[in-house]
Amino acid sequence: MSTAKFNTWQNPDGTENYKCRAWVNFNGTGTVAIRASGNVTSITDNGTGDYTVNFTTAMPDANYAATVTATYNGGSWGTLPASGTYTSSAVRVGNAGTGAFVDAATVNVAIFR
């Protein structure tokens, strides 16, 4: 399959092509740093355990799914949108530890649309 066909929002027959549109694995402690990513230009550190993932190529709208996982002190924690902020150019996510946001050693975010 050519790269051009893979990167389109539609299949060759015009039907919607649902796939992972962006992903990132980053260090959420200290100075936030991307380890590896696809279609993510940067991470904004909004405060303890609160991050914005900025997309290189915008989504067609804000109606996508954000899947987030994180690791804190060797254990996995549930994560959630920090403020429910979904835009076509970014998503804000948070790492909720024991009832409060905490920085995470590894944060993974995948965007499906």
Residue with tokens 């904004």: 44
What would the pLDDT profile of 37-79 be if each residue is shown by its tens digit? 999 999 999 998 899 999 999 998 999 999 888 887 665 555 5
What would the pLDDT profile of 3-18 be if each residue is shown by its tens digit? 444 456 677 787 777 7
Residue 74: how many other CB atoms lie within 10 Å: 6
- Flag whether 60 is in a domain: yes
- Flag whether 46 is in a domain: yes
Whole-model pTM?
Answer: 0.81
- Flag whether 68 is in a domain: yes
Q: Give the three-state DSSP class for 63.
A: coil
- Flag whether 4 is in a domain: no
- Flag whether 49 is in a domain: yes
The domain containing residue 78 runs over which residues?
A: 22-112
- Flag whether 6 is in a domain: no
- Flag whether 78 is in a domain: yes
How many Cα atoms sit within 13 Å of 73 on the Cβ side?
3
- Domain count for the chain: 1
- Flag whether 3 is in a domain: no
